[in-house]
Structure 1
């Protein structure tokens, strides 16, 4: 047994090493729990390329391993105050040396087992990307710990409890006593403004402290709020700023010139510079009416080129900065595990933590080229439940261990990458909450916005996040169903959030927050910690150094919004990401020469809260098809025909008229373009046809070549499994529609990729 070198005082770095199947994850997690420090599975740090090779049974080369080992070493070096236990094979001496280059006092716990024991364990595992066939390769690679290496060996043949006990005995010389987690709520350290993500110098810190010291109590309470500006009228802003002294705002999108002038007026009327937020999840679109739509998050994850996400971030940063925005409620770092979940289906980069981390970093780097802070969302992670927090509380039901390997990995990586703020979702996490509060009954499982064990013990404590935490929109029923408004408003801040997103009734909510402070629900310490983070974020953006009249760019800056260069980026992204999901009937290509007469169907799902015409995109589709030489016949429902003044029609007459034996004589092919949304209004979204047994349902797939094109949701095959040609174009933009039609004709190749969620777990959708 080797001599253990002392760890840095107050910090223990342990690598649990060994070949696949030795129990690194199980033993490592149990040891970490006993020591009261975080656990991280090093496998979760592999880039996507390494995961793909291992899943295919291909051994990694050293060139594959060096970047991964550097990431492992960095994770250990950046561990919080207590330290970190990390599972990593670390089979060669050179690999361990690479880790020690960044974390010199790392202790290696080698879990040793015979080949027979290891083989039995690897063959019994499921859901892991290391197949048993690679065991021989790993054993041949293994170089045992040498005498000068800090570490020790434990035999895994013993029961798990004995293995853990042996490990703890060997670590006793360098570990502090394990805390009693049951019922404890460790005090979290206050903000460090000199540390990431703020990185403030002395002058900036002095501005933060001096500003807080000069505030009235009303101004301090006001800084906790982010207002949703429901009017562009100057007198409206006067009332909000003079009465409630808000710390930030998000405006209602409109024309870029009006938005910029609105922001300019707001900044001119605020004594303390405002954080001005936008939702640039898709580029400049959503921040103003004329902003550039580049791609959805899913679209940016649906091509091998990770630079698409960076381009989306770059355009988002340039266009929103031109408006005067300085805070992006993005990137979205949810993982789309459940195909039924439609609130993040297009708003997640993919269905694995590896793709989410890779693309989120690219987006962050792109938008960070502009003077913009990011708020990634939605902690503790959406995509497991199928429901939407806008209308009901949803839950991330992963175990503590599974969460750490997936969502936890994403948050650790992004925190280390420098993200400045985190938006907390109204998402409960029962197993996470019970990890920190054992025995917590179902009735006390709260959404993360109200759960101190998730915000303080996990996010601030184990993940070591030093930045700003804000709630998701406070009008969402996922929050409001939890408790009375007067209680939940201050409870969010007391639990660990620093800012509260949107008033319901400004006078009431401001009063509730003030009452919460005066009654002690919000302590003086918690209030001032939140204020330091809010002002610290403002100072990190340099807002404290700018005159009020320079916080918003001049009108001329708006020329970048919707520019020709940005539209060219959007067109290139559309061309790369239009995806052929299936063409099992071999219908493609379809051209105006081979199939001149097209029956065109549009599916929208109905109008949503934006009140925009849900079928407006169909005019664009028709224009693009006609430009390609097709003769287009647009189907209209009974309701549409009645609205146009036609009498005597109903769904039965339309069906009888449409579904006739001469259909193939009238039309050469059928195209169905679906742009189904419903975000924030339904717990889940599926196709809703115009009537029972509607004439637009693809009964005609057996009559003529039928092509189904989704312009939004990726999960429609569950409702149209009978179509044999399915395309995901991702967006209803002209660029995406044009690219899809070009590819249908065979004028360009399909380049987009998809994950298995598109088949919705049903055999018939693949046919």
Structure 2
């Protein structure tokens, strides 16, 4: 294999000096060190005792979970100072830097960006992520998500995507890639071969992209090719099968032997590298997900991922055991020495393309708290976040004459709160409806949050209690997109859906979804429906401005918010 050709070509585009660093560094590595470069682990804290164990592992990189600015700076400095080969420090920077730094800017989820219908804001998302990541010493964005949200039931794509229009996804994905990489931060387009067709979550099961080969190439293929042509340095391989292309490239393949993208030679080497011409670095999605652990025994699955074309493995179930599986596969010849060499070249070439060796030599690789504090969530970045909130909030359905919502028209407001709760690893926020209620009270509304009353059929409180005591009902739903859930649907109270829409003909009802844009499937007869795509302070502030008539609704839904149901269009 001609490693020089790999390194010279896009997206690495290395010069002679950089290629020499790659080959010299590789030549000085033991096989054990090469194996460890092929793993990207995770860090949750800047505790030096904890980080010392990671540094001693000599892994190729780590992903940073959210922590304060100072902790991120401490983590990066410790890892880079204690690593002979500079390390990747990555994060899920899909909506901004808030998933790495608790102080980071939440620009807007990708669906909010798409709702602006302005590619400029996808570029701005990439710029803000790039500037804040660079200031913090983070050099790899596990973003953008370039899945196409074709299936409203999918519980994990949802607001993380740029919507269901392949052209919009392609343009916005490429805009993010181009901009973020200007700041020395590698983009990782994901989740190849593409989520959003199935309605299942790879954290829990291997899912299926069931499009024909032609349909796939006209949609996902064009989306991926656009970002590849924009120079995307890395691809994240998802635990998603694409049977049509697997069989097209290997007609002898039986159904039982079809593997997900993360372990499929047909999809990674045949389709991604061959048909689409991708020459960059490939990393698996989390190898701890059930979507990767169920198709093959782990001792076979991890080597299969490397042989399929993955250069790095993200996370581990048990690091000692997983390292052993790769080590044993190399020793037995299941993974060839040449394949190991190629993985290491692509890993080091990525580091060289980001200028990490030069930054290590000059000291520029070490971030400072002062620089981070000056860049992260600065006034300019917050301004863009506010613009995205203003231009993305979408009025999907409107009852004639319901707006503006003012205390003079609707003094007494009953709020039905519907929250799923979140976790610190989820997308979205756990409890935000209270913040909305506080804003409404400051506007002068008398707000009551509904609480279930005791009683069963025939013994419930009379409907007149609601009809005679309130002027307006507002439903606020905050069902976040997060892993390890099978649906993002509303759960109604007992008995018999006690908090369902029972008063739509008695007074105005407004349904506001702070997260999932598809709740019209469960409330088709509500006459006024709003999607905000998030619940940050900037978003809630913009929402109240629009409810009260001080600002227009400007967003355009990037998906079919009616979920294909004819009755959801009724008013």
Q: TM-score normalised to the size of structure 2? A: 0.95
Partner residue, 1:54: none
CA distance in 2, matches of 1:529, 1:481: 27
Match of 1:221 among 35, 42, 46: 35
Partner residue, 1:52: none
Which digits, 9 at most, give the CA deviation of each residue in 1:252-304, with x for residues without a partner? 21111112101110111111000110111001221111211111111111123
Partner residue, 1:742: 545
Whether 1:730 and 2:545 are equivalent positions in the alignment is: no
Q: How many residues align?
A: 568
Contact 1:670 1:706 in 2 (8 A): yes
Deviates more, 1:748-757 or 1:378-387: 748-757
| Counterparts in 2 of 1:612 and 1:518: CA distance versus 1, 3 Å | closer
Whether 1:426 and 2:239 are equivalent positions in the alignment is: yes
Deviates more, 1:701-710 or 1:469-478: 701-710
CA distance in 1, matches of 2:371, 2:131: 10
For 1:515, what is the secondary structure of its paired residue?
Answer: helix
The structure with the larger Rg is 1
Match of 2:192 among 379, 401, 407: 379
Contact 1:240 1:246 in 2 (8 A): yes
Match of 1:762 among 553, 565, 568: 565
| Counterparts in 2 of 1:598 and 1:546: CA distance versus 1, 3 Å | same
CA distance in 2, matches of 1:655, 1:519: 72
Contact 2:241 2:260 in 1 (8 A): yes
Partner residue, 1:114: none
Partner residue, 1:656: 460
| Counterparts in 2 of 1:609 and 1:487: CA distance versus 1, 3 Å | farther
Aligned pairs for 1:64-463 (under 5 A) are 192-242=6-56, 244-463=57-276
Which digits, 9 at most, give the CA deviation of each residue in 1:1-40, with x for residues without a partner? xxxxxxxxxxxxxxxxxxxxxxxxxxxxxxxxxxxxxxxx
CA distance in 1, matches of 2:219, 2:124: 26
Which digits, 9 at most, give the CA deviation of each residue in 1:540-561, with x for residues without a partner? 0111112364312211112222
| Counterparts in 2 of 1:654 and 1:716: CA distance versus 1, 3 Å | farther
- Deviation, 1:614, is 6.2
Deviates more, 1:514-523 or 1:426-435: 514-523
Contact 1:427 1:448 in 2 (8 A): yes
- Deviation, 1:231, is 4.1
CA distance in 1, matches of 2:95, 2:265: 32
Contact 1:333 1:348 in 2 (8 A): yes
Partner residue, 2:294: 481
CA distance in 1, matches of 2:236, 2:495: 41
- Deviation, 1:305, is 1.9
For 1:440, what is the secondary structure of its paired residue?
Answer: coil
Aligned pairs for 1:18-29 (under 5 A) are none
Taking only aligned residues, the RMSD between alpha carbons, in angstroms, comes to 2.1
User: Unmatched 5+ residue regions in structure 1?
Assistant: 1-186, 638-648
Contact 1:190 1:529 in 2 (8 A): no
Whether 1:566 and 2:381 are equivalent positions in the alignment is: yes
Contact 2:415 2:475 in 1 (8 A): yes
- Deviation, 1:572, is 1.2
For 2:307, what is the secondary structure of its paired residue?
Answer: helix
- Deviation, 1:650, is 4.2
CA distance in 2, matches of 1:756, 1:253: 29
Deviates more, 1:218-227 or 1:538-547: 538-547
- Deviation, 1:539, is 0.3
| Counterparts in 2 of 1:384 and 1:317: CA distance versus 1, 3 Å | same
- Deviation, 1:385, is 0.6
- Deviation, 1:760, is 0.9
For 1:700, what is the secondary structure of its paired residue?
Answer: coil
CA distance in 1, matches of 2:94, 2:421: 23
For 2:415, what is the secondary structure of its paired residue?
Answer: strand
Partner residue, 1:592: 407
Match of 1:716 among 508, 519, 538: 519
| Counterparts in 2 of 1:583 and 1:220: CA distance versus 1, 3 Å | same
CA distance in 2, matches of 1:655, 1:419: 62
- Deviation, 1:612, is 11
Structure 1 residue ranges (4+ consecutive) displaced by more than 6 angstroms after TM superposition:
187-190, 611-614
Whether 1:679 and 2:494 are equivalent positions in the alignment is: no
For 1:466, what is the secondary structure of its paired residue?
Answer: coil
| Counterparts in 2 of 1:509 and 1:692: CA distance versus 1, 3 Å | farther
Partner residue, 1:523: 336
For 2:6, what is the secondary structure of its paired residue?
Answer: coil
CA distance in 1, matches of 2:427, 2:143: 24
Partner residue, 1:706: 509
CA distance in 2, matches of 1:569, 1:262: 28
Partner residue, 1:80: none
CA distance in 2, matches of 1:611, 1:763: 32
Deviates more, 1:706-715 or 1:334-343: 334-343
Contact 1:221 1:514 in 2 (8 A): yes
For 1:222, what is the secondary structure of its paired residue?
Answer: helix
CA distance in 2, matches of 1:434, 1:330: 29
- Deviation, 1:713, is 0.6
CA distance in 2, matches of 1:614, 1:330: 20
CA distance in 2, matches of 1:759, 1:306: 24
For 1:539, what is the secondary structure of its paired residue?
Answer: helix
Deviates more, 1:191-200 or 1:603-612: 603-612
For 1:572, what is the secondary structure of its paired residue?
Answer: helix
CA distance in 2, matches of 1:651, 1:546: 68
CA distance in 1, matches of 2:328, 2:49: 27
CA distance in 2, matches of 1:698, 1:234: 53
For 2:410, what is the secondary structure of its paired residue?
Answer: coil
CA distance in 2, matches of 1:301, 1:655: 47
For 2:105, what is the secondary structure of its paired residue?
Answer: coil
Match of 1:501 among 311, 314, 331: 314
For 1:271, what is the secondary structure of its paired residue?
Answer: coil
Q: TM-score normalised to the size of structure 1? A: 0.72
| Counterparts in 2 of 1:429 and 1:712: CA distance versus 1, 3 Å | same
CA distance in 2, matches of 1:263, 1:394: 35
Contact 1:342 1:713 in 2 (8 A): no
